[in-house]
Structure 1
C-alpha cells in the first residue's frame, strides 16, 4: 500500500501482510535459519523480508522457490549505526542490488545529524538514493528516533525528502527504542504525501499495527509477523479488523519503548 488508509476502513489479513517488512537481522541467525524463515514468510505472502546484506542472494533464491509468492527481498545499508562512509554505503547498495535486493533501508549518519552537519547527512542519503533509483528500487531512511530530539527528527525528515528518499523510518530496532505514535505522527506531518512512513521496532500486536496505520504508516517493520497475521485473521473473521481514528488507543499494549534486547 502506498496511500494513507482512512479511519474506519475495514482491512483484510492480506492488507496487513502487504504492510509487513519482516526483519531477519539478528546477528546470530544462521543461513539455515534465514532460508527456512524466508520460505515460511514468502508462503504467507508478506510484502518483503528484510535481511542482512550477505543474506540477500540466499533470500532471493529462497523466496523465488515459493511458487506464486509476491514477497520481495529488502536489505539494510550502513546498519545499524549509519556511520560507515558514504562510499561504503554506495558500494554496499550496489552489491545488494546486484544480488537481487528490491528495496534498501539505509541508516542516516546519526552523529552527523545531531552534530548539525546537515549538508553531509543529506549528501550521504542522496548518494544511496541515486544508486537505488537508478535501479528502480525504493530507498528508506532510518532515523533511530530514540536518540533524537524533536527538532532533529524534523530536520531528518526535511533532509531525507530533499535527498529524494521514498520512505522515512523510525528505528533499527537495535538502539533500545522503537516506533511510537508521536514519532510517526511527527514524521507524517513533516514529510509531503510523496514520502511514506515506516514504523519499526515494537510493532508486535494488531492493535499497535492498526494504530500506526491510523497515523499514516504504510509499512511495518516487525519480527512478529506470525502473531500479527494470526490476530488479523481472528479480527477479520469477527469484522473488527478496522483502522481506528488517529486519536484512539494512545496507550498501546506493546509499550512505547521496547527493551534493548527485544529488536523489532
Structure 2
C-alpha cells in the first residue's frame, strides 16, 4: 500500500531510510561518525560495504540500527557461488540486511534461468538466517521489458525488496521506475528506491509512488527537512 505525506512523521521516515556510505576511500573514523549519526536519527540501517560490517556493528551496539551489506557491489559481476558465499559470510559477521546486484551481463543476454537461480540462492541464504534480502536491478541499464521480467522472477522467488539502483550507475531512482515495479509486484515484494535521492521532496515522491525504503547518503538532511515541514504546519 502506498503511503502519502500526511502519514509520514520524521520518526517513521527515519525508519524507512538506509543511510548510505559506500565510497571506497572513507576512513574508519568516517564510518564511526556515520554510525553514530545513524544511531542519533534512528535510521533503519547503515548501508555499507562488507569489510567494515564488524566494525560498524560494534559502533551500533545499544541501538536497533542494522548493518546493510552490499554484495557483489556495484557491478554484480561475480559468480553465483561467490555471491552466495559473500552473503553468508557478511551475515555471519553481523549484517542484518543484504543488498546484492544482479548479473546484468546474463540478464542482457536473456539468460533468465541464471538470473532466477542467482536470486533464489541468495534469497535462501538470507532467509535461513532471518535476514532481509534486496535485489538491485540497476534500472538505468535495463529496458522496461527487462525490468518487468525481473519483477516476475521476484514474484516467484520472493526477496524482501527489489531495488532500483546502486547509485554507482549512469542513473538512479526515478518515480516512473518505482511505479512500474510497484505495478508488477503490488504488495507481494517491497520496493527500495536508491540513487540520487538527496532531499525530502524526492524521497516523498518515491514513497508516494510505492517505495517503502529509501537508500540515500542524505538521510540526515531529509529527516531534518521533514521536521521543518511539520513545524510549519
Match of 2:96 in 1: 102
Match of 1:49 in 2: 46
Correspondent of 2:141 among 131, 135, 147: 147
Secondary structure at 1:70's aligned position in 2? coil
Q: Are the aligned partners of 1:11 and 1:236 in contact in 2 as well (CA < 8 Å)?
A: no
Distance in 2 of aligned mates of 1:45 and 1:36: 14
Match of 2:192 in 1: 198
Match of 1:228 in 2: 222
> Aligned-pair distance for 1:4?
3.1
Distance in 2 of aligned mates of 1:10 and 1:135: 32
Coordinate RMSD, CA, aligned: 1.1
Deviations 1:192-246 (A, max 9, x none): 412000000011111111111111110000001121011011011123xxxxxxx
Map 1:1-264 to 2 at 5 A. Answer: 4-5=2-3, 7=4, 9-64=6-61, 67=62, 69-239=63-233
> Aligned-pair distance for 1:70?
2.1
Q: Are the aligned partners of 1:52 and 1:76 in contact in 2 as well (CA < 8 Å)?
A: yes
> Aligned-pair distance for 1:160?
2.2
Secondary structure at 2:7's aligned position in 1? coil
Deviations 1:94-143 (A, max 9, x none): 11111110100011111111110000001001111010000001100000
Distance in 2 of aligned mates of 1:8 and 1:50: 25
Mean Cα deviation higher: 29-38 or 98-107: 29-38
Distance in 1 of aligned mates of 2:160 and 2:202: 23
Distance in 1 of aligned mates of 2:43 and 2:188: 23
Q: Please state which structure has a larger fraction of its residues in helix.
A: 2
Distance in 1 of aligned mates of 2:2 and 2:58: 32
Q: Are the aligned partners of 1:165 and 1:195 in contact in 2 as well (CA < 8 Å)?
A: yes
> Aligned-pair distance for 1:8?
5.7
Structure 1 length as normaliser, TM-score? 0.86
Deviations 1:60-112 (A, max 9, x none): 00111xx4x32111101111111100110011011111111010001111111
Q: Are the aligned partners of 2:190 and 2:211 in contact in 1 as well (CA < 8 Å)?
A: yes
What are the ranges of 5 or more consecutive residues in structure 1 without an aligned counterpart? Answer: 240-264
Secondary structure at 2:6's aligned position in 1? coil
Secondary structure at 1:179's aligned position in 2? coil
How many residue pairs end up in the alignment?
A: 233
Q: Are the aligned partners of 1:76 and 1:104 in contact in 2 as well (CA < 8 Å)?
A: yes
Distance in 2 of aligned mates of 1:194 and 1:182: 19
